[in-house]
Structure formats: C-alpha cells, structure tokens
C-alpha cells in the first residue's frame, strides 16, 4: 500500500510505516496535480501538513483514498466532514506539537520584552557605529516573571503554554468557550511536580487583566481580536499569535502598535499566508516567524511516528 507524504514526514515516521509494509512517497506534488498523482500511483493514504489542501474536488476525484492524515493540530486545509461522509478516515496528531508551539510562544514573548527582534535588525547595521545609542534604545526591557499571561483557547497547546508560564513564575488566566477548568501539572527535572488548577474566565476579563495575551484557537469566521478587544487590553501589553492567521485583525493591530496601546506583537501566522502584508513584515514592534510552530525535529518525529501508528492501527500491517 502506498502513502504519499506530500508535505514531508520524519525519518522515524517513514521507518515505522516501512516496517509495517507500506511504501512511503515523499515527492512534493503541486496542489493542482495532487488528484492525478494519487490516481496514477495508486495512493491510498495521503499525509499533509499545512501547505497541501485536500478539498472536495480531490476527495471526489480519488475514490481509492482510504486515509487523509494531517501532521499537526488544525485541519482547516481538509474538508473533514465531507471526507468522512465518503468513508475516508481523517486523522491528525493534536498532542504531538503542543510543546513546540508553546516554546515558540515564549520565544516571541522573550523577544518582545527584550526587543530582540528589533535589536537583531539594527545591530548588523549600526552595532559598530551606534553601539551606545542602541544600548540606550533597548535598555527598558521587562521581565516575564510575576506578570499575568492571558491564554485565549485552553486546549492542549494553551495548557502547554500555561505549564511553561507557571514554571517561569507567571500568573496564568485563561478564556475558553468549551473548557471550564484545567489542572496543569508542572514537572521538574528531578521528578517533582506541582498541580495548579486554573478556572477559565470571560474573554473580556482576560483581556483587561493580562500583561500579555497569547491565542490558541482554530480558524474563525470572524476576528477574535479586533479593535474593540485591543482597546480592552492593558496599555503597553503584548500579544502573540502562533495559532491561525485571521484571528487577529492585522489592520487594527498595526494601529494599536503605532499609537502605543500595544507594546509589541509576536506573529507566527498571518491573514494572507504565504504573502503577509508588508506593513506587518516591516513593523519594528512585531517579532516574526514563518508559521514554524510545530517545526522542531522533536515534534516532527512525534508527528511522523503517531501518524504511522494510526495508519497501521486503522489498516493493519501490509
């Protein structure tokens, strides 16, 4: 049985599938050629990440498909319910990348509070000619310890963020439409741990009381954070989005940054991927990454292995 991993798969995932008797193809097929390739090669399992879309047209054109797999959490690039209505299994790996995304959130937070994103732009240009000037410009950093982190969306990734925040000595508050409370276990290197129960709160309370906001929600039909929500936030707060593009109104965000309502933003995802707006890319108060939340070697190993285990569990060894 053939598996097309169109957006790539880790070596551990390939090894697990090949051990189960599957042939793994990692050829990158252009979006418009995916259906033809699946049919020509007799592909029964197609695996994607965020780049390839498996919509109704491909599902209809490929009657031999048995499994569509998404390496990661969100499945907004797959017509999930339609595929399942056609008897196709749709799988993903919701737990595999939580820690990786959470660490990126803190990369953006640390970058924002210590101006690393801007310093790394300006040091190569002015470090030898204006060292003292840059030193003065970046001298008013703040610490995360003791500050309040507001988490919007308190599922697996939101809880992984909470765990790291608690370990740093931050206060954590959270908003979620479906989760009332969660017990967060903070584990230490020597086997000790503490459990902290966090009760979720209304969104407007979280916005008003947080020093920093981080979003962990799926794609939405409308903005979660628009001008009205930004206005509720503390003056000088920071905001990070490593979830999905389109949950923050980027026009309103730029305005809030320009009028100093918001001190900084960290964005891993954008409204117009893969061509973010130039006003976002050039803004000195925005820390930027190109949608790499799950892109760690460890996460990709976990994702590949978990996908392989699910495929073998559904279809058996070949």
Could you read off the pLDDT tens digit of each residue along the chain, which spans 318 residues? 999 999 999 999 999 999 999 999 999 999 999 999 999 999 999 999 988 999 999 999 999 999 999 998 889 899 999 999 999 999 999 889 999 999 999 999 999 999 999 999 999 999 999 999 999 999 999 999 999 999 999 999 999 999 999 999 999 999 999 999 999 999 999 999 999 999 999 999 999 999 999 999 998 889 999 999 999 999 999 999 999 999 999 999 999 999 999 999 999 999 999 999 999 999 999 999 999 999 999 999 999 999 999 999 999 998
Q: Please give the pLDDT value at position 132.
A: 98
Alpha-carbon distance of 182 to 185, in angstroms, equals 10
Q: Please give the pLDDT value at position 94.
A: 87
Structural element, H or E, at residue 286: strand 286-288
C-alpha gyration radius of the chain = 22
Among 19, 36, 214, 21, residue whose Cα is nearest residue 6:
36
What's 248's DSSP letter? B
Alpha-carbon distance of 165 to 161, in angstroms, equals 6
The pair of structure tokens assigned to 303 is 């994702």
First to last CA, the chain: 7
Q: What are the chain's domains?
A: 2-96+297-315 (3.40.50.720), 98-288 (3.40.50.720)
Which residues are part of the catalytic machinery? 244, 273, 291
Query: Which pTM does this prediction carry?
Result: 0.90
- Helical residues (DSSP H) of the chain, grouped into ranges: 11-19, 34-41, 56-61, 80-85, 98-113, 116-126, 131-137, 156-167, 203-209, 227-232, 250-258, 278-281, 297-315
Q: Please give the pLDDT value at position 95.
A: 86
CB within 8 Å of 75: residues ≥ 6 apart: 90, 92
Q: Please give the pLDDT value at position 296.
A: 95
Q: Please give the pLDDT value at position 50.
A: 84
Q: Please give the pLDDT value at position 55.
A: 97
CA 131 from centre of chain: 35
CA 136 from centre of chain: 34
């Amino acid at each position: 049985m053939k598996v097309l991993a169109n957006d790539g798969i880790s070596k551990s995932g390939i090894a697990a599938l090949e051990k189960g008797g599957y042939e793994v193809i990692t050829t990158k097929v252009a979006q418009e050629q995916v259906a033809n390739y699946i049919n020509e090669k007799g592909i029964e399992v197609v695996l994607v990440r965020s780049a390839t879309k498996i919509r109704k047209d491909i599902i209809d054109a490929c009657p031999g498909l048995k499994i569509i797999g998404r390496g990661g959490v969100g499945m907004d690039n797959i017509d999930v319910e339609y595929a399942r209505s056609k008897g196709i299994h749709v799988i993903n790996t919701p737990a595999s990348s939580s820690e990786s995304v959470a660490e990126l959130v803190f990369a953006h937070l640390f970058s924002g509070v210590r101006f690393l994103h801007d310093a790394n732009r300006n040091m190569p240009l002015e470090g030898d000619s204006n060292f003292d000037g840059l030193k003065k410009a970046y001298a008013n950093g703040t610490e995360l310890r003791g500050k309040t982190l507001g988490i919007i969306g308190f599922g697996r990734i939101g809880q992984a963020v909470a765990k790291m925040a608690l370990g740093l000595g931050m206060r954590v508050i959270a908003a979620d439409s479906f989760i009332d409370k969660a017990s967060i276990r903070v584990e230490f290197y020597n086997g000790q741990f503490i459990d902290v129960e966090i009760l979720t709160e209304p969104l407007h309370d979280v916005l008003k009381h947080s020093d920093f906001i981080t979003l962990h929600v799926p794609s939405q039909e409308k903005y979660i954070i628009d001008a009205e929500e930004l206005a509720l936030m503390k003056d000088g707060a920071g905001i990070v989005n490593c979830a999905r593009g389109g949950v923050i109104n980027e026009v309103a965000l730029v305005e809030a940054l320009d009028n100093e309502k918001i001190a900084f933003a960290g964005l891993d995802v954008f409204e117009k991927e893969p061509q973010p707006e130039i006003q976002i890319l050039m803004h000195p108060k925005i820390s930027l990454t190109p949608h790499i939340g799950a892109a760690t070697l460890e996460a990709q190993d976990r994702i590949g292995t978990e996908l392989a285990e699910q495929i073998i569990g559904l279809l058996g060894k070949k």
